[in-house]
């Protein structure tokens, strides 16, 4: 039996081993124990080994001093102890971990070794996996094992474990022995930089040049340090094509990136598209786009098209802004994708065609016949199938509701619901219960009233919407007690208003909810806890973040209950959403383990501390948060996003730029980082850095035109192409190429003529430029396009808000914009986005007081959940972040000059 196994056996043997050797005097120091490793007495050697093993890392330094001893017994035992201790195998180690290690060491089969490693991963014995890989003598086996899906990320997991325990040096050493791949190199460089050791490491690595592994490691370090000048020199010397392509993108030149993909493309269509992108970028002439796309489209003229090719050419056409071809192909490719695409444009004549329904206004007889046939079909559908997707009738009702045509929407739903009711089909509850999810909660009361309370309709429907949970039983009981003399329907209406599904009537909802809340003053003990839990549930359902925070905060005073129900997480979430810095700190401090080892939450806590005046502590915590990401793409993107949302935009930008410089262009991580920079941050466009914005945008396009790429939201695809052409035009304008800029900008505008996205940056950036007159002409084209949509659907509050937003951001047609904004708010008086648009109009009119007033109101409505019955928690949180930045702008920035 090997010595390793002997020692393992000692560790697993009865704990009375020391007592069994009572004749041996216990030594007083590690040095004495090491001397006893070469004792003539077997029991003395065994006990010394056992005690040194128990001491673990404290004995390592002295053990390493005797590996060159003349005594073979002492050396053998010392080396075995060193191996075990460094691998994290101690007498206290889980028996299952030790057994897995023994299985690994007792086999020569790569498959069996992999199984043993996978077992260790399941046991979270990441450090032990690393040491076994590091000491694997067969190089091919080591390489094969390290690339297996369940093993290749183990180095980061082991390092994170060490950092969680506060052991930076151990994390560093674990990464040093990790398999030599780019991800592990980056993680090690990240830790070294965060612990101020990177400069020394670079100097040490230079001394090992020109060794190939040293060159690769040095390049990673230089990129991490941000020394791109030296990194470029080394990349050229080592012919690191991907690194050079990354650096070129950061320098504003995406062509090497494009050439990299082109040189590796085996798809003819892909090569054609890349050449088209290159010409577009270098020659700035979009005139031949349609000709090229039309030729590509001829490949899918037949009926039996290859779906994959059809999807690719559709995607490319939309990315390149050729709507004529792209939209035609999209309708052939997928009706559902096409409908979502056209619906996103505000209005479209193609929508009825894609819905597959006659127009109920212009084709009344055909529509009536279609409805009858569709209802019969729905009644014949198996119960399980309808749950998987909405019926065509429901989709049509959603369509009209989103266009502001409420009565039309309801009239379409009612025949289907009546037929289901007459047939005794419980799908009635599923359809009505889903209406709030589509923003149609206002219909629930009327439809339930029409049905009546037979079969306990009101309770069943409330459970369908809000869940069959004890909190809802409690709310029903309170409402029934408060309004004891009211009818069942009135009770149901009160429940809907309390829960935020029914629009605020300024009567029942407030009186019912406030009366239930008032019970807190007189309720004690367990009954008070039950009341608080129910009110917290109501607040969470409504996205009433202020009340949610207040109730969960009080519930967290009972620490046992808070731990059991995890109420502290709800308390934290409410504080995070509304940027209540003091409550963020208070809620996090209730449960430090929820943030102390989570870099994203730690960063949010740090920002809160900074906002409360503890800048020095905040800086320390942010450094710790950054360290604990280990330089991972997902973690860094999430960390930078939190910083960006919390107002620390310079720090977020620095993280994104540093990280993308460390990534090679072929990696999906590069695309993720690029996507966050372009869409989550957008700093290049905000700063007017058109060269960099154009480079980033084209680099994203190069990813999106890969044949293997897959998309589900094709209108977003169109917007990506628009952005690329827009920023390219602005780059040309900055360079003095007015004619080229005009070509690209006009093409960009034509891509999204009626889209509110144009108001975000396109028009504002042009209104004070040499192309102002052209921009005014394009504005009128956009305005007229939107007006046609309003003529078609005069109650469409969203399209009216788009018109108002367009006017507000350009400073044109402000009086008309104000009318549209007020009409939109008349329909949706507490819609925060519409209030923000109104504030933007007043800001454009140089009325700061009114702008801030309506902006404040938009934030108040999100906090209180006044509009939450048609929003998700995530969308409410995102909107609050965006509107908070708007609020700061309205208060502090100079008025736009146009």
631: left (phi over 0), alpha (psi -120 to 50) or beta: left
pLDDT at 382: 56
pLDDT at 167: 92
Does residue 659 surpass a pLDDT of 90? yes
What are the structure tokens assigned to 112, written together?
A: 């069996």
Mean residue pLDDT of the chain comes to 89
User: For 755-772, what is the mean pLDDT?
Assistant: 94
Does residue 3 surpass a pLDDT of 80? no
Tens digit of each residue's pLDDT (9 = 90 or more) over 61-81: 888 888 888 888 888 898 888
Residues 6+ apart with CB under 8 A from 665: 242, 245, 246, 249, 257, 260, 261, 699
Beta strands in 17-168 (DSSP E): none
Q: Which residue do the tokens 């001397």 mark? A: 35
520, 532 contact by CB (below 8 A): yes
- Which of 34-48, 115-129, 292-306, 601-615 is predicted with the least confidence, judged by mean pLDDT? 292-306
CA angle, residues 774, 793, 370, in degrees to nearest 5:
130
pLDDT at 25: 47
Output 622 or 372, whichever has higher pLDDT.
622
pLDDT at 346: 62
pLDDT at 464: 94
Residues 6+ apart with CB under 8 A from 814: 807, 808, 841, 844, 845
Does residue 343 surpass a pLDDT of 80? no
d(CA 648, CA 885): 12
Burial per residue of 858-868, b for 16 or more beta-carbon CB atoms within 10 angstroms, e otherwise: bbebbbbbbbb
- Which of 178-182, 200-204, 384-388, 568-572 is predicted with the least confidence, judged by mean pLDDT? 384-388
d(CA 342, CA 789): 13
Does residue 21 surpass a pLDDT of 50? no
pLDDT at 113: 95
pLDDT at 777: 97
pLDDT at 53: 84
pLDDT at 287: 80
Where are the chain's structural domains? 255-355, 753-898
Output 759 or 679, whichever has higher pLDDT.
759
120, 129 contact by CB (below 8 A): yes
Does residue 266 surpass a pLDDT of 80? yes
349 sits in which H/E element: none
d(CA 785, CA 789): 7
CA angle, residues 841, 844, 850, in degrees to nearest 5:
60
pLDDT at 869: 52
pLDDT at 512: 87
User: For 393-404, what is the mean pLDDT?
Assistant: 88
User: For 350-379, what is the mean pLDDT?
Assistant: 82
What are the structure tokens assigned to 472, written together?
A: 């809802």
Does residue 8 surpass a pLDDT of 60? no
> How many residues does the structure list for the chain?
898
404: left (phi over 0), alpha (psi -120 to 50) or beta: left
Does residue 508 surpass a pLDDT of 60? no
Q: pLDDT exceeding 90 applies to what percent of the chain? A: 64
pLDDT band at 392 (very low <50, low <70, confident <90, very high): confident
pLDDT at 506: 52
The CATH code for residues 753-898 is 1.25.40.10
d(CA 251, CA 457): 65
pLDDT at 509: 45
Does residue 11 surpass a pLDDT of 80? no
How far is CA 201 from each of CA 159, 176, 211, 341, 422, rounded to the nearest angstrom? 18, 12, 15, 52, 78
Is the peptide bond prior to 210 cis by the omega test (within 30 degrees of 0)?
Answer: yes
Residues 6+ apart with CB under 8 A from 531: 474, 516, 519, 520, 523
SS3 assignment for 798-847: HHHHHHHHHHHHHCCCHHHHHHHHHHHHHHCCCCHHHHHHHHHHHHHCCC
Q: What is the pTM of this model?
A: 0.87
pLDDT at 350: 67
Does residue 233 surpass a pLDDT of 50? yes
Tens digit of each residue's pLDDT (9 = 90 or more) over 93-132: 888 998 999 899 899 999 999 999 999 999 999 999 999 9
User: For 585-598, what is the mean pLDDT?
Assistant: 94
DSSP string, 477-517: HHHHHHTTTS-HHHHHHHHHHHHT-SPP-SSHHHHHHHHHH
Terminal Cα distance for the chain, rounded: 86
Does residue 10 surpass a pLDDT of 50? no
Does residue 718 surpass a pLDDT of 90? no
Tens digit of each residue's pLDDT (9 = 90 or more) over 628-648: 999 999 999 999 999 998 989
651, 643 contact by CB (below 8 A): yes
d(CA 897, CA 442): 42
Instruction: Indicate the DSSP class of residue 896.
Output: P
Does residue 150 surpass a pLDDT of 70? yes
pLDDT band at 681 (very low <50, low <70, confident <90, very high): confident
Helices 797-810 and 772-792: angle between axes, nearest 10 degrees? 170
- Which of 12-26, 106-120, 590-604, 866-880 is predicted with the least confidence, judged by mean pLDDT? 12-26
Highest mean pLDDT (candidates 99-103, 304-308, 384-388): 99-103
């Amino acid at each position: 039996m090997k010595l390793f196994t002997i020692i393992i056996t000692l560790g697993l043997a009865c704990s009375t081993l020391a007592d069994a050797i009572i004749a041996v005097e216990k030594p007083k120091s590690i040095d004495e124990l090491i001397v006893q490793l070469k004792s003539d007495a077997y029991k003395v050697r065994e006990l010394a080994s056992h005690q040194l093993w128990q001491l673990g890392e404290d004995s390592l330094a002295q053990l390493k001093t005797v590996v060159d001893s003349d005594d073979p017994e002492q050396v053998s035992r010392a080396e075995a102890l060193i191996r075990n201790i460094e691998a994290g195998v101690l007498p206290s180690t889980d028996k299952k971990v030790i057994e897995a290690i023994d299985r690994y060491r007792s086999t020569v089969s790569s498959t069996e070794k992999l199984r043993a490693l996978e077992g260790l991963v399941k046991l979270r014995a990441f450090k032990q996996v690393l040491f076994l890989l590091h000491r694997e003598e067969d190089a091919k086996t080591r390489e094969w094992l390290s690339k297996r899906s369940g093993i290749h990320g183990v180095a980061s997991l082991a390092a994170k474990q060490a950092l969680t325990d506060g052991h930076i040096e151990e994390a560093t050493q674990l990464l040093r022995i990790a398999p030599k791949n780019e991800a592990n190199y980056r993680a090690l460089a990240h830790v070294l930089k965060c612990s101020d050791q990177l400069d020394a490491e670079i100097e040490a690595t230079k001394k090992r040049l020109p060794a190939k592994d040293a060159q690769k490691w040095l390049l990673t370090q230089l990129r991490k340090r941000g020394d791109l000048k030296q990194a470029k020199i080394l990349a050229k010397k080592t012919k690191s094509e991907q690194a050079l392509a990354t650096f070129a993108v950061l320098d504003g030149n995406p062509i090497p990136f494009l050439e990299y993909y082109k040189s590796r493309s085996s798809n003819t269509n892909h090569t054609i598209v890349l050449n088209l992108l290159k010409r577009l970028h270098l020659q700035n002439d979009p005139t031949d786009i349609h000709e090229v796309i039309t030729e590509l489209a001829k490949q899918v003229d037949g009926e039996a098209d290859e779906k994959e090719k059809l999807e690719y050419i559709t995607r490319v056409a939309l990315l390149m802004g050729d709507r004529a071809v792209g939209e035609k192909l999209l309708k052939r490719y997928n009706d559902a994708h096409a409908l979502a695409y056209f619906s996103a444009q505000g209005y479209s004549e193609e929508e009825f065609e894609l819905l597959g329904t006659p127009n109920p206004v212009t084709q009344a007889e055909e529509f009536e016949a279609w409805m009858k046939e569709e209802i019969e079909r729905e009644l014949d559908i198996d119960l399980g199938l309808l749950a998987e997707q909405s019926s065509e009738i429901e989709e049509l009702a959603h369509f009209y509701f989103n266009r502001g045509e409420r009565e039309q929407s309801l009239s379409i739903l009612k025949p289907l619901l009546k037929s289901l009711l007459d047939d005794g089909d419980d799908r009635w509850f599923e359809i009505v219960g889903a209406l709030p999810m589509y923003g149609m909660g206002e219909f629930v009361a009327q439809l339930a009233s029409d049905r009546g309370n037979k079969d306990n309709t009101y309770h069943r429907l409330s459970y369908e919407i809000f869940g069959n949970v004890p909190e809802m039983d409690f709310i029903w009981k309170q409402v029934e007690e408060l309004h004891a003399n009211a009818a069942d329907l009135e009770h149901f209406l009160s429940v809907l208003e309390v829960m935020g599904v029914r629009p605020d009537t300024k009567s029942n909802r407030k009186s019912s909810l406030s009366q239930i809340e008032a019970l807190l003053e007189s309720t004690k003990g367990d009954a008070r806890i039950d009341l608080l839990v129910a009110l917290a549930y109501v607040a969470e359902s409504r996205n009433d973040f202020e009340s949610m925070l207040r109730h969960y905060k009080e519930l967290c005073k009972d620490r046992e209950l808070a731990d059991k129900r995890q109420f502290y997480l709800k308390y934290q979430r409410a504080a995070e959403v509304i940027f209540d810095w003091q409550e963020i700190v208070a809620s996090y401090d209730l449960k430090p383990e929820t943030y102390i080892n989570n870099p994203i939450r730690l960063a949010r806590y740090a920002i809160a501390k900074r906002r409360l005046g503890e800048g020095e502590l905040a800086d320390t915590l942010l450094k710790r948060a950054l360290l604990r990401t280990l330089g991972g793409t997902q973690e860094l993107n999430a960390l930078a996003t939190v910083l960006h949302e919390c107002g620390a935009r310079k720090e977020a930008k620095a993280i994104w730029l540093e990280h993308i410089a460390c990534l090679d262009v072929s990696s999906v991580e590069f695309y993720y980082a690029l996507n966050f920079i372009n869409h989550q941050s957008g700093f290049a466009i905000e700063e007017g850095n058109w060269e960099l914005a154009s480079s980033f945008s084209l680099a994203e396009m190069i990813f999106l035109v890969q044949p293997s790429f897959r998309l589900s939201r094709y209108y977003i695809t169109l917007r990506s192409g628009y952005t690329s052409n827009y920023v390219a035009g602005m780059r040309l304008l900055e360079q003095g190429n007015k004619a080229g800029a005009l070509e690209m900008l006009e093409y960009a505008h034509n891509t999204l003529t009626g889209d509110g996205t144009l108001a975000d940056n396109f028009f504002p950036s042009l209104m004070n430029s040499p192309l102002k007159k052209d921009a005014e002409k394009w504005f009128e084209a956009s305005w007229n396009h939107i007006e046609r949509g309003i003529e078609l659907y005069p109650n469409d509050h969203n399209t009216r808000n788009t018109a108002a937003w367009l006017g507000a951001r350009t400073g044109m047609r402000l009086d008309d914009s104000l009318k549209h904004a007020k009409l939109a708010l008349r329909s949706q008086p507490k819609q925060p986005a519409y209030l923000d648009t109104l504030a933007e109009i007043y800001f454009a009119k140089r009325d700061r007081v009114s702008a801030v007033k309506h902006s404040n109101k938009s934030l108040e409505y999100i906090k209180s959940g006044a509009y939450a019955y048609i929003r998700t928690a995530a969308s409410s949180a995102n909107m609050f972040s965006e509107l908070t930045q708007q609020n700061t702008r309205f208060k502090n920035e100079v008025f736009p000059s146009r």
